[in-house]
Amino acid sequence: MSNGSDKPVTAEAWEQALAAEFAGFMEETRAAMNAAREGHWIADTEEVVRDAGARLRQRALEKLLQLRVQAGEGAFSPAGPLDRVAGQGAAGGGTPDGGGACAGSPARVVEAGRRDPNARG
């Protein structure tokens, strides 16, 4: 079943979205190498490169996910059926996310907890 986000992300779009982050990674690791003591290049740069690489890897995934979501946004209607809106939050009744009859009232949450210690509110 299609979910509307079947449009693939191109390598060019991903590269463009990551250009600034990649440039920052390159500059940070280059500066660490240039600041390393003679004969201690690995010891003085290994942690910097590893940490910068981890940040770049995280940002790369975030950007890829963001591009994928944006590619699929055009396939969704901005407004769904009105009867589905009431199914969220406090209007949704006894939902497991803490909404429902006790939502927004600390006294009612405490009282519900006294009646049923396993109650979520």
Q: Which residue has the higher pLDDT, 108 or 92?
A: 108
Report yes or no on whether pTM surpasses 0.85. Answer: no
pLDDT at 5 over 70: no
Give the pLDDT band (50/70/90) at residue 47. Answer: very high
Q: Residue 7: what pLDDT? A: 81
Residue 32 pLDDT exceeds 70: yes
Q: For the chain, what are the domain ranges? A: 11-73, 90-121
Distance of alpha carbon 40 from alpha carbon 4, whole angstroms: 52
Q: Is pLDDT at 121 greater than 50 in this prediction?
A: no
